[in-house]
Amino acid sequence: MKSTHRRLLAPAIALLGAFMQSALAHHTYAMFDNSGTRSVTGTIAKLEWKNPHVYIWMYVPSTAEQGKYDLYAFENGSPSVLSARGWTPTIIKAGDQITIEYWPLKDGRNGGHFEQATFADGHKLRGAGGPGRF
């Protein structure tokens, strides 16, 4: 190998390593409890279709106060990954009544990583990523 190529190879490898480390750090699922999924049924508030992750916001009847609702947030994969799986920005709409299965947040806040949704008619919609599938 020529001397010039050797001098360029080391910085290129270092840059690639830094990029890979950054990419892997971004895709950690450490904040989610991977011991099992939970599910909640409620009404969709909105689907937030933007990078780096799609978010689903849902009102769930409160277990603490009858007649009140808690807002849950569910992280999902990126718009490009979800699009490849058949998702669109309008596949879930405000007002839809669905059950969401999710990996809960370790800190106990309402929400987690979206696993799948079951609609009133029984059809299911799978998410992308998450502690259960890398």
For 23-73, give the DSSP string: HHHHT--TTB-TT--EEEEEEEEEEE--SS--EEEEEEE-SSSTT-EEEEE
3-state secondary structure of 109: coil
Q: Tell me the pairing of strands 97-104 and 111-119.
A: antiparallel
Instruction: Answer whether residue 118 shows pLDDT above 60.
Output: yes
> What tens digit of pLDDT does each residue of 17-67 get?
434 343 444 567 888 998 999 999 999 999 999 999 999 999 999 999 999
Over residues 83-112, the mean pLDDT reads 96
Mean pLDDT of the chain: 85
pLDDT of residue 1: 52
Instruction: Answer whether residue 10 shows pLDDT above 60.
Output: no
pLDDT of residue 57: 98
pLDDT of residue 17: 42
Instruction: Answer whether residue 11 shows pLDDT above 60.
Output: no
The owner of tokens 């999710």 is 102
Instruction: Find how far residue 89's CA is from the centre of its chain.
Output: 15
pLDDT of residue 21: 43
Instruction: Answer whether residue 16 shows pLDDT above 50.
Output: no
pLDDT of residue 106: 95
